[in-house]
A and B are shown apart, each in its own frame.
Chain A
């Protein structure tokens, strides 16, 4: 499975945008880019996913580099409830769709 690399931690101020980077230089053409987040003592929560084009939903935006070797999760206005561990994961369509989690980025949001 292709690997992703994320910073261990990031800080943000409340109500400011947050850009969470993810590198996936060995991504293959059939790999989807998924983002999930996890609050303490809870199961992960889906945030967004995409293949090639940038994606937007009510939670966030996903910007995918043209060569697909990196992507950025954008939270447009961070709130205290966005403090969580964010995981960037590649899901191969030919591989039952299982998700292998890396270490993720711990996002702290300061009031």
Chain B
């Protein structure tokens, strides 16, 4: 089956630094990828829709200057948490769908756990 890989799986950083998380579709092309964050014992919250070759679409309440998304190729999207603070500590999950399949299965990465000290 299709695989989505995230890197790093976990990262610890100091407050004020920026952290980049990569999301790759390993065996398929993804025009659109989605970024979620999840706090302990809560559900996933959609942050933004990442579109290859164009600007990401952010959900209401998500700061686009805080969470920079780049989708430069059909197999790679990156999320950069800028000037991270302890409240940004969370589990970040990306997902992707095979290009052209708007209603099909969504493939999820393993998640990246960010801890900001």
Contacts and interface: CB of A to CB of B under 8 A. Distances in A.
Interface residues of B, number: 27
Most A CB atoms within 10 A — which of B4, B95, B103, B108?
B103
Nearest to A48: B105
Contacts of A97: 32, 97, 101-104, 106
B95 A49 contact: no
A26 interface: no
A91 interface: yes
Interface in A69-98: 85, 87, 91, 93, 96-98
A29 interface: no
B109 A87 contact: no
A90 B105 CA distance: 12
B43 A32 contact: no
A96 B107 contact: no
Given A101-B43, A101-B46, A102-B43, A46 B106 contact: yes
Interface residues of A, number: 24
Interface in B11-43: 32, 34, 36, 43
Contact of A87 (B43, B103, B105): B43
A32 B105 CA distance: 11
Interface of B: 4, 6, 32, 34, 36, 43-46, 49, 57, 91, 93, 95, 97, 101-111, 113
Interface of A: 32, 34, 36, 38, 41-46, 49, 85, 87, 91, 93, 96-104
